[in-house]
Amino acid sequence: MSEPTISSKAATVRFDGVSKLFGKDVVAVDNIDLHVAAGKLVTLLGPSGCGKTTTLRMIAGLEMASSGRILIGDRDVTKLPATDRDVSMVFQSYALFPHMSVLENVMYGLTFSGFAKDEARTRALKGLDLVGLKGFDTRLPSELSGGQQQRVAVARALVLEPQVLLFDEPLSNLDAKLRRQVREDIRAIQQDLGLTVVYVTHDQEEALAVSDEIVVMRNAAIAQIGTPRQLYDTPNDRFVADFIGEANLLECQITDVSGDTATIEIAGHRHQLPSRGLTSGPATLAVRPSRILINEASGIPATVDKATYVGVRMEYTLTGGFGQVFAVQDDVDEPIAPGTEVKMTFAQKGPVLLPGE
């Protein structure tokens, strides 16, 4: 084997009722079940402190589950320490070893995997090549920019051909421009090599952009799992609707359900949409700002409170009997002045019904 290539041994990850307690009463992760398919990029998304990092570290073996079972591939790794798991991780701070050159950093894990020195070197160079850092091998980490350090960290993890590759908020130390670029690079490498990746972020836009599947977490538990599209279009509850993209959450009454279609009444206005298994009674309507139509012939009466021009579109705040909503309109040429009385309706597609509070 003269030209080793980096391939993938992508494996599934399974959590069966896993909990993690710190001390006696800090529940960081509460009884979660999770299945990550091989070769997919799955994102853990949620507000700060909801247990994403802890979940990730349990996959890595840096934290041990307090209860439950963790499987990687077919192997039960619940009690296995990090060293013995076939998982690598890219840290938020990159954690490059400052006393080793870039090449030594990338070779580090290979030397513990039983590779001969030459082989390890070839593989490491290959890895650096893959992340676009050819020729940087003799530099010290301190002689690289943040983005380059990030890529060294990725290369270092990649060359081990781990069953699962973990990222903990990998973009948070980069500036906004670089973020988009790096996240696309990560996604491209993941898809090219068919890696199983678990990716932690608190940025919903980032999650929507890179993921095959998103796990939304809240208070140490899973709120919803789905593809970006599913989460955006059909959130399960108010929390998810609000966290993924922006949503206006309006109280409404389901007056009638026939088949899969529900009729709701909101501030005297009627609207029909899929019932999603809800029955008559109070409910919540989630509407994305772009799915609110203003200045219609008929609809809910509302007053324009605020109008803001942000370049590509107009942003309005409307008030009325329903409370307050936030809407955006693509029409920037004829803005509606604040104080104008308007009629407002919802687009046919988009608004979804959620259980009431």
Partner 1 sequence: MTVANTKTTRPVLIFWIVAGWVGYCLLPWYMVDDGLWSFKWLVDGYPFDDDYAPAAFLIGQGVKLWLAPILIPLAMPLLVIGRPKSDPLYARILIISGALGFSWLIAQGFSIGIRGFNYDWLKLLFGEPRIRQFGMGYGAMISASAFLFLLTQGIAARGAINGDVFVVSAIGGVITIVTAFVFYPIANMLFSAFITEDGAYSISVFAAKFFDDRLWGLGCLAGARCGAAWNSLFLAIFVGVITTALGLCFALVVTRSGFRYKRTIRALTVLPVITPPFVIGLALILLFGLSGSVTVFFADLFGIQPTRWLYGMPGILIAQTLAFTPIAFLVLIGVVEGVSPSMEEAAQTLRANRWQTFRTVSLPLMRPGLANAFLLGFIESMADFGNPLVLGGNFDVLSTEIFFAIVGAQYDQGRAAVLAMVLLFFTLSAFYAQRAWLGKKSYTTVTGKGDAGVHPLMPVGLSLPVMIIALTWALFTAVVYAMIVYGSVVELWGVNNTLTFKHYVTAFSLRIEEEGIRWTGAAWDSFWTTLSIAAIAAPLTAAVGLVTAYLLTRQSFAGKNAFEFGTMLSFAIPGTVIGVSYILAFNVPPIEITGTGVILVVSFIFRNMPVGVRAGIASMSQLDKSLDESSLTLGANSWQTFRRVILPLLRPAILAALVYSFVRAMTAISAVIFLVSAKYDMATSYIIGRVENNDYGLAIAYSTTLIFVMLSAVGLLQLIVGRVQIGRRSQLSVKDAS
Ligand X SMILES: Nc1ncnc2c1ncn2[C@@H]1O[C@H](COP(=O)(O)OP(=O)(O)O)[C@@H](O)[C@H]1O
Binding site for partner 1 (CB under 8 A): 60-62, 64, 79, 81-89, 91-99, 108-109, 112-114, 140-142, 144-146, 149, 153, 156-157, 160, 162, 166, 173-174
User: If contact means CB under 5 to 8 A according to the sort of partner, which of Mg ion, partner 1, ligand X, none does residue 321 touch?
Assistant: none
Type of residue numbered 26: V
Nearest approach, Cβ of residue 22 and ligand X (Å): 3
With contacts defined by CB under 6 A, how many residues of the chain interact with ligand X? Answer: 11
Crossing angle (nearest 10°) for helices 102-111 and 146-158: 20
Output DSSP code: residue 144: S
53 binds Mg ion (CB under 5 A): yes
248 HSE (CA, 13 A, CB side): 24
Nearer to partner 1, 11 or 342 (CB): 11
Alpha-carbon torsion angle 113, 122, 144, 105, nearest 10:
20
Nearer to partner 1, 11 or 220 (CB): 11
Binding residue for ligand X (CB under 6 A) from 28, 106, 250, 294?
28
User: If contact means CB under 5 to 8 A according to the sort of partner, which of ligand X, partner 1, Mg ion, none does residue 320 touch?
Assistant: none
Options 47-55, 99-107, 132-140, 155-163: segment touching Mg ion (CB under 5 A): 47-55
Nearer to ligand X, 56 or 283 (CB): 56
Alpha-carbon 56 to chain mean position: 13
Separation CA 267–CA 343 (nearest Å): 12
Nearer to ligand X, 52 or 269 (CB): 52
**At 206, which helix (H) or strand (E)?**
helix 204-210
Helices (H) and strands (E) in the chain, counts: 8, 20
Residue of minimal CB distance from ligand X?
A: 53
Site for ligand X in 54-73 (CB under 6 A): 54
201 binds Mg ion (CB under 5 A): no
Nearest approach, Cβ of residue 42 and partner 1 (Å): 18
Nearer to ligand X, 28 or 164 (CB): 28
In Å, how far are 40, 103, 110, 141, 155 from 134, measured between CA atoms?
A: 27, 10, 18, 14, 11
Binding residue for ligand X (CB under 6 A) from 17, 49, 135, 321?
49
Separation CA 152–CA 133 (nearest Å): 8
2 binds ligand X (CB under 6 A): no
User: If contact means CB under 5 to 8 A according to the sort of partner, which of partner 1, Mg ion, ligand X, none does residue 157 touch?
Assistant: partner 1
Separation CA 252–CA 33 (nearest Å): 33
User: If contact means CB under 5 to 8 A according to the sort of partner, which of Mg ion, partner 1, ligand X, none does residue 131 touch?
Assistant: none
Nearest approach, Cβ of residue 55 and ligand X (Å): 7
Give the contacts of 30 (CB within 8 A, at least 6 positions apart).
Answer: 19, 51, 219, 220, 221
- What's phi and psi for 225, nearest 5 deg? -120, 135
Closest to 128 (Cα-Cα) out of 155, 148, 102 = 155
Structure-block tokens of residue 258: 């026939």
Nearest approach, Cβ of residue 84 and ligand X (Å): 22
User: Contact positions toward Mg ion, by CB under 5 A?
Assistant: 53
User: Contact positions toward ligand X, by CB under 6 A?
Assistant: 22, 26, 28, 46, 48-54
